[in-house]
Structure formats: structure tokens, C-alpha cells
Amino acid sequence: MELTYLDSNSWLIEMAGKRILLDPWLVGSLMFGNTPWLFKGDRPQDRPIPENIDLILLSQGLPDHAHIPTLEQLDHALPVVASPNAAKVVESLGYQTIHTLEHHQKYTIDNLEILALKGSPVGPTTLENGYLLKDLSTGQTLYYEPHGYHSPELKQYAPIDVVVTPLINLTLPLLGPVIKGQASALQVCEWLKPQVILPTAAGGDINFEGLVMKFLKPQGTVADFKQMLHEKQPDTLVLEPTPGTPCTVLA
């Protein structure tokens, strides 16, 4: 299993003989609506589109997961596995093969099985997707949830080999946690006993600006998390991949 971190929530996952592009934001700015004054993310230069992609996997319909400028540039003939909200985004762009997964539904392509699990709340009634990926030939597993909201139902799938989730907290006054790391990540490690855990959501060479950034407060560091995890579960390895560089997580 090989993972390449592409900043923010974006990953290239290579497992089960497939190359999966997860929540890609690779080109252009990141905004929520046409409101750069509120929030805008930019990187010094666009990331190249990875070659030979087999599948696009989208956990949420929000722009930091289903990034329209990036999706516009990707091959619309590629199959997409998506949450219901993300499926609406790619459908509007003209993608031809969309597999919409509700919670607990599966999609299988050759030796790769993708199971949708309960993920992050978006608004008062919607839960987006987390995913459990399994290589049916080796039994290797990977769990991804980009905001740190982990359903207790995960316990039934333990142990899971690799976890990709936030390791620090990001909070807004009055609204509370936007991203849950630290305690949430420690809890999921206790449940799943992973061999490896990797941070997502708050990394890479990106400049963020706008009104939201004046109030968004990070809490803790990856180094803090490593220390806490080592005390509770020393057999789990914390990997911090270099953005753009492939990282072998399981042989």
C-alpha cells in the first residue's frame, strides 16, 4: 500500500492494484462559494494531475472535497465513487459513471472493496461519508475520515491496518470544532489498533486567507499527538508524509 499526500484532504492511494484519487484539490483556488473575503486557499503552484487514475473517491460534496475546478480538469470518463452530495457535484459536471454510496453500501472493482461509513456532519441533518477500503487479495485495510468524526460502528471492523484522519483540532468560536483531531484520533486508534496512522486536512504548502482565518484556531500538534499515542498505544506508528512524495505504508 502506497500513499501520496497532495495537501489539504487530497491523496493518491495505491492499493489492490488500483490508483485512487481521493478528495482532489489540485488546481486553482479553494473557496466556499464566490466569497474569497470569507475564505480562500491558494498554493504556490498547481499540482500536476496524477497519471493512470483508476477511480475518483469523494467523501463530501463541499468544495474542499469535491473541488469543481479540479474535477473539471479530470477525465470525465473515470468512474467516481461518492457520497450523495458529492455525486450531485460530479453529475452536474457531466461525469459518466457515478457510484453513489449511502452509509453501509459497498462498491467493488476487481480486488478493491469500498465501504461507506458514517462520517462528518454537514448542516443539521446530513452525515457525509467516511470510507473503509479493503484489498480483497491481501486483506489489507485503510480507513479515511477527513474531519475526525468517527462512528462507534467502526469497532466491528477492527483491526484496521491504516488510518488517515486529522491529528490536530481546528475550532471556531461559538461553533466549536470544525475538525476533530487529538482525542478523536486517540479514540479511533484505541478502537481500530492500526499499524499506521497518517494526518490529513491540515497540511501542505498552502496559504489560507479571509475572515474565517482570523478566528480558526488550531489546537495541539502532530508531535503532541505522537507523544500521547506512544503512551497509550506504542505499537501504532505515526507517519507524516512529505507532500507529493509517495510513502509506502504497508509492504
Tell me the backbone φ, ψ of residue 232, rounded to 5 degrees.
-95, -35
Joined together, the cell numbers standing for residue 185 give: 484520533
* Angle formed by the axes of helices 183-192 and 222-232, nearest 10°: 40
On average, the pLDDT of the chain sits at 93
Tell me the backbone φ, ψ of residue 21, rounded to 5 degrees.
-95, 115
Confidence of residue 185 (pLDDT cuts 50, 70, 90): very high
Comparing C-alpha atoms, which of 28, 2, 23 is closest to residue 14? 2
Confidence of residue 235 (pLDDT cuts 50, 70, 90): very high
Q: Is the pLDDT of residue 101 over 90?
A: yes
Q: Is the pLDDT of residue 33 over 90?
A: no
Average pLDDT (155-170) is 95
CA 162, CA 193: separation in Å to the nearest integer?
9
For the whole model, what pTM was predicted? 0.95
Comparing C-alpha atoms, which of 48, 103, 58 is closest to residue 79? 58
Average pLDDT (103-123) is 96
Confidence of residue 174 (pLDDT cuts 50, 70, 90): low
CA 67, CA 69: separation in Å to the nearest integer?
6
**pLDDT confidence of residue 104:** 97
Q: How many residues does the chain have?
A: 251
**pLDDT confidence of residue 171:** 85
